[in-house]
Amino acid sequence: MAQISVNNLGFTYEGSWEPVFENVSFNIDTDWKLGFIGRNGKGKTTFLDLLRGKYEYSGSIGGDVLFDYFPYEIKKDDLEKSVSELLEGWKPMTEEWRVLMELPALKVPAELMYRPIGTLSFGERTKLMLAVLFSGDNDFLLIDEPTNHLDAEARQTVKEYLSSKKGFILVSHDRDLLDAVIDHVLVLNRKNLEVGSGNFTTWWENKERRDSHAKAENEKHLKEIGKLKSSMDRSSRWAEKNENTKIGFDPLKEPDRCAGTRSYIGGKTKKMEARVKSYQVRMEREIGRKEGLLEDIEQIRSLKLSPLEHPKKRLLDVKDYSLGYKGKELLFSPVTFEIMTGEIVFLTGANGCGKSSFIKSVLNKIALAQHADPGSCETLLADAGAKDLSDLIDEKGRMEAAPNMIVSYINQDTTRLHGDLTRYAQERGIDVTQFFTVLRQLDLEQSAFEKDISTFSEGQKKKVLIAGSLVTPAHLYIWDEPLNYIDVFSRMQIEELIEKFSPTMLIVEHDVRFKEKFATKTVGLL
């Protein structure tokens, strides 16, 4: 067992005035299974890049260990190559037989090693990369969000596989995965990096107890600071009032005073001012000390939603419905269900079974039902990539949507996002002020408001989509994998929102705890 020692680490991106890390120090053991927890855009991936030596930094990172990183890069020219061919570039000097030895635990057929990677599903690529990652010796592994876009079965396989391994940092926002896999946490707070033992739930319970105590201490310190500031203000006014008595007096009202009194008052005031100044210095020092005691507590701020009430209780009626693409078989077996007002319906199924295609079909049916304003869903359909469904020529069964229904939609795909946030809001008829307010509540940095959305991290892009949905009053909220890349704290904000406002929803989401908490109905596409 070796140690990785981080001492006085500092890093700031070129052109930025705000440091990402400043005077960060901690030690970790190389046989730990660390879960890396923190808000989106706060520096988790940046820290992994620093460990890999990708950027220059101040301070030191020490330890006799090699780092390897998931996911491996797949270039456009790599899509025609197999993992066997890419192996030397991904993990030099690794023997292929060692990768093959890892495959059974990941439930991957060996023949996938030799197929072009462009023909593999996202889940198959993920499992093969993990097999390569864990096929070396004496590496400390940096695993960045391995379960995004994976279906429930693939997630379970990856969870079981990682729980049998050690010696890694796992960046994930999946609480179920973290609880099953990790034995230590590395937490990126607002001002520091914290290391602790236990899984996510252990850390969270301890954090809640600490935060409760810290909030009480904060309130006490704030009251003391208020008293000290009031005392400083009284002392200042006392000296000023005494100084003012030097200037002018009424002989009839003050017969005991004479002109010589002025110099006496002046001398007395100077002494008083010196004492007050000394007192103020002490008070300011004490206030600074008290303010330094205020804890850096991660606040989970409440979000708001404005669901609309539709005159019809049944918003979507699906009867023996399936669909398929031109020249191909149906994507899934026919399904029958309905969405009633107040229900939260989860679509489930393996990757590639047609969940997103089903959602595009739903959006198209809703657009066709907009008799009053057929063009009102145009931007929505464009965002979903469903504006032209001419290739969906084979529909079986029946799907009917309530007329004049307003939908708020989150696409799983963020590649369409570009331009600044103001333009994004204006193109969708969103109130800019409300949109910005929700983004701040989701902890998007103020500095990001002037940047092009295409430069955001994946988590920040998802928050743009979520904020846009939340400020759109709607009868039905359709969310396609909304929580991919979204940090734990923001997930809790969204859960609190759904509990409070009870919107009608159609959701595709693989977060086990999220689904267990909210699903009133589950529709499996097989």
Q: What pLDDT does 186 receive?
A: 95
Over range 128-141, report the average pLDDT.
93
Q: What pLDDT does 312 receive?
A: 94
- pLDDT exceeds 70 at position 280: no
Give the pLDDT band of residue 372 (cuts 50, 70, 90).
very low
Residue type (1 letter), 175: R
Q: What pLDDT does 168 receive?
A: 97
Query: What is the chain's length?
Result: 526
- pLDDT exceeds 50 at position 172: yes
Give the pLDDT band of residue 479 (cuts 50, 70, 90).
very high
Q: What pLDDT does 235 receive?
A: 64
16-49 pLDDT, tens per residue? 788 889 999 999 999 999 999 998 888 899 999 9
Distance of CA 442 to the CA centre of its chain: 8
CB 385 within 8 A of CB 413: yes
* Region class of 201: left (phi > 0), else alpha (psi between -120 and 50), else beta: alpha
Q: Which residues are paired to 394 by β-bridges? A: 324
Instruction: Characterize the bridge pairing of strands 505-508 and 344-348.
Output: parallel
CB 27 within 8 A of CB 7: no
Q: What pLDDT does 95 receive?
A: 94
Instruction: Characterize the bridge pairing of strands 3-11 and 21-29.
Output: antiparallel
Q: What pLDDT does 347 receive?
A: 96
322-357 pLDDT, tens per residue? 998 877 888 899 999 999 999 999 999 988 888 988
Which residues have C-beta within 8 Å of that of residue 104, sequence separation ≥ 6?
none
- Tell me what the pLDDT averaged over the chain comes to: 85
Q: What pLDDT does 24 receive?
A: 92
52-81 pLDDT, tens per residue? 999 999 999 998 889 999 999 999 899 999
> How is the chain split into domains, by residue range?
3-199, 208-292, 314-524
Q: Is the peptide bond before 374 cis (omega within 30 degrees of 0)?
A: no
Over range 82-105, report the average pLDDT.
95
Over range 361-380, report the average pLDDT.
67
Instruction: Please indicate whether the domains covering 3-199 and 314-524 agree at the CATH topology level.
Output: yes
220-257 pLDDT, tens per residue? 777 776 776 777 677 666 656 655 555 555 555 555 55
Give the pLDDT band of residue 377 (cuts 50, 70, 90).
low
- pLDDT exceeds 90 at position 499: yes
Q: What pLDDT does 369 receive?
A: 79
The domain over range 314-524 is classified in CATH as 3.40.50.300: yes
Q: What pLDDT does 290 receive?
A: 54
CB atoms within 10 A of CB 262: 15
Architecture of domain 3-199: 3-Layer(aba) Sandwich (3.40)
Provide, rounded to the nearest whole percent, the portion of the chain with pLDDT above 90. 58
CA–CA distance, 384 with 203 (Å, rounded to integer): 38
